[in-house]
Structure 1
């Protein structure tokens, strides 16, 4: 063979850290707080809605390319109900195989070779791979611990300085994985003004939109000048605890949506037929469901954060998402990779090193992420085990 089989654009990525650490958890029998999936299913009535759709033959064959009408209407109503956004279900909603496909389709559609994509880092690993596949250049703007609460913050001056004449779009994620940052209305307003001033597109990943513990979730598409230049992505997995169903969606101005659909049709074409009908029903659940989900995860966040602090970690409290970022230097450690690879044998717990989410691994070298979307008993057992690390 004249060259290695893997596309050179993917050569730097290798196996995802989630696959590596989940395999380590299976091999050692450790508690897996690395990968962000719940260990209980979502509402029984939504699971039964999927069963009903299967039995009634709805979605067992190829669903419509943009998604079943019921789900597109439900997404439109969701955007109106929670954010006051007017989204046309026929021309401004596209159903995808989870948010991961939506991100891939958006970047493949909107980014050309040589375009720069400014992204907040640390970032979900698929962002970098998708920018690379599109032939773009990623330009990171690093969130850093700042402020009295120890959370991570966006430096707006650094963001502005990262934009050049080659910048095509801003890739946002709020609430932010892995740091738990929730961009404020003031911060998003500044980002929106920058996008309008420099004529940039914005792709925004909002899958944790209903998991905000302090502050509020503000879709940037709702801000002045942003409707026509924003591709908003979300999904059902994190909100309804059915991550294996892989039902996501894109909302955007018709011209942008058509571009994203042009790429998406050559990825999965369609997916998750019966589950689309079930998620349409899920999006119509009463406010009490969304409130209870948020409060349950808030309590789990607090439980794990307290246990990590007791074990000697420096804890950066998240304002949203499933995750807590910690720093292991207070434990006398320096390398998050080495720490995470040894942790299952030392304590029977698996976590993920944040360095994999950075272009410059040194920026997150000592940071480690833990997921708290698990049963309370599992979190208590994990924190009991981790306390063995206490200096």
Structure 2
């Protein structure tokens, strides 16, 4: 707080010494260099980074490929910028490894004129992690068809079961000027209130994002930027314990959902969400979600926010262990009350 108090007005893309420190940390974590002066911008949260990255890449009518399901703001931002949504399905229940992204559909969309592809890894809401082979395929297709890519890696530090995680930017498959990676300390590190994110990669995009940020918000709050000095510098063992605690909550919630007859759920591989598929109900999803909130005191996001998922809900498990498990129990009771 003392450091932040003296830096209210920083460069639009973030205070330089903080960017230098952060560039080194992000380079080590992702396995590819980051130039603090030309390839990095600090933003008001990763939501701000998404807005800027999409805003400088989408013109009216541009085709934009998004994964279904994926972070709900993606489709809203494409629509806001008057782009044309091109959904690419993900068979997350059928995939033996990885996400089950339909790579044939992805290539067909690229052939058909898609200019931008964005996805989250780990996926939000499913929590599936893209395999190295899937990422290599994405990289090769993007390079072949000259498609720009935005990779949202917000939850890339919260990986469960010791699973391998690969960074697209480290594979050297895409023209560096066509790729932006987005990260932030809001979720895994629980500092969402400071509204900090980072976008790094393409110098051309970063330059344009800075110009847009100067119009929209000037900068990420200078007072808050000081928090970035703590990112990737947590006490030894802190992150391991945090991931372990989240994994234990995930395991118990998965058991609870699987105990509901007719309910399917894929265990989250990374992130803070589960995306269970519910059995048939005698009410619509919107009504059921409202009933959960009013009658059971459980807040979830309807699956329709992520695509055509009329039978699914997203629930966050980054909370008290007992409260999370109890919430699943109340969902089970509501499912039985409204079962078709």
In structure 2, the partner of 1:52 is 2
Aligned residues between the structures: 333
Q: Deviations over 1:291-335 (max 9, x none)?
A: 222222111111211122224432222211110011111x64573
Q: CA deviation at 1:348?
A: 2.6
Determine the C-alpha separation between the residues in 1 that align with 2:99 and 2:53. Answer: 27
In structure 1, the partner of 2:313 is 368
In structure 2, the partner of 1:291 is 240
Provide structure 1 residue ranges, at least 5 long, that are not aligned to the other structure: 1-50
In structure 1, the partner of 2:160 is 213
DSSP-derived class of the 2:181 partner: strand
Provide structure 2 residue ranges, at least 5 long, that are not aligned to the other structure: none
DSSP-derived class of the 2:216 partner: coil
DSSP-derived class of the 1:95 partner: strand
Using a 3 Å threshold, how does the CA distance of structure 1 residues 388 and 160 change in structure 2: closer, same or farther?
A: same
Does the Cα contact within 8 Å between 1:74 and 1:284 map onto a contact in 2?
no
Q: CA deviation at 1:182?
A: 0.9
Q: CA deviation at 1:389?
A: 4.1
Determine the C-alpha separation between the residues in 2 that align with 1:115 and 1:387. Answer: 43
In structure 2, the partner of 1:27 is none
Determine the C-alpha separation between the residues in 1 that align with 2:154 and 2:186. Answer: 8
Q: Deviations over 1:3-43 (max 9, x none)?
A: xxxxxxxxxxxxxxxxxxxxxxxxxxxxxxxxxxxxxxxxx
DSSP-derived class of the 1:237 partner: coil
Determine the C-alpha separation between the residues in 2 that align with 1:223 and 1:216. Answer: 15
In structure 2, the partner of 1:327 is 277
Determine the C-alpha separation between the residues in 2 that align with 1:308 and 1:150. Answer: 22
Q: CA deviation at 1:246?
A: 0.6
Does the Cα contact within 8 Å between 1:151 and 1:318 map onto a contact in 2?
no
1:83 aligns with 2:30: yes
Find runs of 4+ consecutive structure 1 residues off by over 6 angstroms: 148-151
Using a 3 Å threshold, how does the CA distance of structure 1 residues 345 and 108 change in structure 2: closer, same or farther?
A: closer
DSSP-derived class of the 2:56 partner: helix
In structure 2, the partner of 1:275 is 224
1:185 aligns with 2:132: yes
Q: CA deviation at 1:164?
A: 3.4
Q: CA deviation at 1:118?
A: 0.5
Determine the C-alpha separation between the residues in 2 that align with 1:374 and 1:74. Answer: 31
Q: CA deviation at 1:106?
A: 0.9
